[in-house]
Structure 1
Amino acid sequence: MPSASAVLPLEPNAKERLETTRSRATELLEAVKNLSTHDALVRLIEDEFKGEVALVSSFGTESAILLHLVAQVNPSTPVIFMDTGKLFGETQRYRRQLTEFLGLTDVRQILPDPDRLAGKDPDGILWTKDTDMCCWVRKVEPMNRALDGLSAWISGRKRFQAVTRARLEMVEAEGTRIKINPLAYWERDEITSYFDRHNLPRHPLEADGYPSVGCMPCTDKVAPGDDPRSGRWKNQDKTECGIHFIGDAAARTVQE
């Protein structure tokens, strides 16, 4: 079977659409890269993509910052939350806490397709055999559906998080959509300062040694001083779940 794109399948006239999207991303980056994060979000959410953009959030350890920034611009901005069925209970409670704390009015809990789970992961332990396929069925495919009809989406990725993100820009083309990374240039100390300045709630697992939180089976504690993301897919050659592209290529492709 042919491999599939991690985010958006190709369509007729896709080549032309890809070129158009790349060109627009370049123009938008020039327009916003020297603005404050808040002003850039106002421009992109309220002007360029009004009604056509959503924030994708894991409600992880650093998610409160971007959620807070977007709530200041427009609290009715759709927030897409992929509930993989393998999340920590603490993450679910944190989602409910932040939603109320920030006054978010359109948080969408997106679940995997039950028929796909029945076919690919009937016993619920696919993660022990094929983490790429597990991420695909439980996260990537649901996200594809959730983004259908949107022109852009907002990500919380930052350059300092991983080598694969070191050249991240605030605006980029991803397939035929625009991806907005408002925190791309932020440093780690800015994250801490923002939490403190705005008195934002912390993810409850952070204090227990989880600086980066994903699905429960594939997230481990991290020793002090180690790479914060080293607890994700520990001892595996895997750094991304598959919803993000690296350049023009998918971070992961999966055989269907």
Structure 2
Amino acid sequence: MPQNELTSKVGALNDWYRLNSAVTVLTRALTDESAGKMALVSSFGAESVVLLHMVSIINRDTPVLFVDTELLFAETLVYQQELSERLGLRNLHIIRASKEDTRAQDPDFMLNQRDKNACCALRKTIPLQKALEGFDGWITGRKRYQSSTRAELDFFEVEDNTGRMKINPLAHWRPEDVRTYMEENRLPRHPLVAQGYPSIGCMPCTTPVAEGEDPRAGRWRGEDKTECGIHFVDGKMVRTGENA
């Protein structure tokens, strides 16, 4: 879809759905033919089970893209397998960097120590962008409360230079909303949450978070880095407000 047409469409959708629920927004994305072909991108992290559960109720054949960076915690890999089976997800795609790129750029699996941005690009951003080719949009679990860079997040966003839409059904949720949903639906939590990991990424770049710290404080601790890169295009954070 041309960029200007997509921008107008996103603006209209945000106006229309501003006071609607996460389930309504997600249902619109997955069942309205005008939305195009959509995929859910999930890290199977600390709060991922909420959207995965919603998708399993609305349409279990929804493509679910899981990026295996090959640096994830073993607990995440086990959780991904068990949760996919429990929810009956029928269209799971496990995405990895190509062996050729990995051998050329990170043969010793230590790129994360030398250049974290390059590691994220190699193992996450580039593989995901390739996997999203052919989709008209993708669904994320991002929420406004997670960080200052997400504070103005809307339900619908324009992804610059790709012609794709990004949908954030949980954008306006609060931490207590997540907890309540998980408890009411008896959903299993990622095992690392109980060990002090409220936000879970790759093993070398994620540390436990102390009480009172920002939930994402354990991601790239001590680094001037708050995002892995999949929500950036041409080095810029993708936000609807800046594109409208």
TM range (shorter): over 0.9
Do the aligned partners of residues 203 and 90 (structure 1) sit closer, same or farther apart at CA in structure 2, a change above 3 Å counting? same
- Preserved contact between residue 42 and residue 73 of structure 1 (Cα < 8 Å): yes
Q: Distance in 2 between matches of 1:98 and 1:104?
A: 9
Q: Does 1:104 align with 2:89?
A: yes
Q: Distance in 2 between matches of 1:229 and 1:105?
A: 31
- Preserved contact between residue 117 and residue 137 of structure 1 (Cα < 8 Å): yes
Q: Does 1:201 align with 2:188?
A: yes
Q: How does 1:84-233 map to 2 (within 5 A)?
A: 84-175=69-160, 176-233=163-220
Q: Distance in 1 between matches of 2:95 and 2:51?
A: 19
Q: In structure 2, the residue corresponding to 1:117 is in which secondary structure?
A: helix
Aligned match of 1:64 in 43, 46, 49?
49
Q: Distance in 2 between matches of 1:94 and 1:62?
A: 12
- Which structure 1 segments of 5+ residues have no match? 1-15
Q: Distance in 1 between matches of 2:5 and 2:105?
A: 36
Q: Which residue of 2 aligns with 1:244?
A: 231
Q: In structure 1, the residue corresponding to 2:201 is in which secondary structure?
A: coil
Once the two structures are overlaid, the 10-residue window that deviates more, 47-56 or 85-94, is 47-56
Q: Distance in 1 between matches of 2:132 and 2:5?
A: 19
Amino acid aligned to 1:194: Y
Q: CA deviation at 1:109?
A: 0.5
Q: CA deviation at 1:224?
A: 1.2
Q: Distance in 1 between matches of 2:34 and 2:128?
A: 19
Q: CA deviation at 1:50?
A: 6.2
Q: In structure 2, the residue corresponding to 1:108 is in which secondary structure?
A: strand
Q: Distance in 2 between matches of 1:187 and 1:77?
A: 25
Do the aligned partners of residues 160 and 48 (structure 1) sit closer, same or farther apart at CA in structure 2, a change above 3 Å counting? farther
- Preserved contact between residue 39 and residue 138 of structure 2 (Cα < 8 Å): yes
Once the two structures are overlaid, the 10-residue window that deviates more, 30-39 or 184-193, is 30-39
Q: Distance in 2 between matches of 1:185 and 1:49?
A: 24
Q: Distance in 1 between matches of 2:178 and 2:36?
A: 28
Q: Does 1:20 align with 2:5?
A: yes
Q: Which residue of 2 aligns with 1:32?
A: 17
- Preserved contact between residue 49 and residue 151 of structure 1 (Cα < 8 Å): no
1:209-246, Cα deviation, whole Å (9 max, x unpaired): 11110000000011012111000000000000000038
- Preserved contact between residue 66 and residue 94 of structure 2 (Cα < 8 Å): yes
- Preserved contact between residue 157 and residue 184 of structure 1 (Cα < 8 Å): yes
TM-score by length of 1: 0.88
Q: In structure 2, the residue corresponding to 1:229 is in which secondary structure?
A: coil
Q: Distance in 1 between matches of 2:207 and 2:142?
A: 20
Q: Distance in 1 between matches of 2:18 and 2:92?
A: 27
- Preserved contact between residue 57 and residue 155 of structure 1 (Cα < 8 Å): yes
Do the aligned partners of residues 249 and 170 (structure 1) sit closer, same or farther apart at CA in structure 2, a change above 3 Å counting? farther
1:166-212, Cα deviation, whole Å (9 max, x unpaired): 00001111122100000000011111111100000000001011111
Q: Distance in 2 between matches of 1:125 and 1:49?
A: 44
Q: Distance in 1 between matches of 2:170 and 2:34?
A: 18
- Preserved contact between residue 96 and residue 123 of structure 2 (Cα < 8 Å): yes
| Alignment root-mean-square deviation, CA | 1.7
Identity %: 47
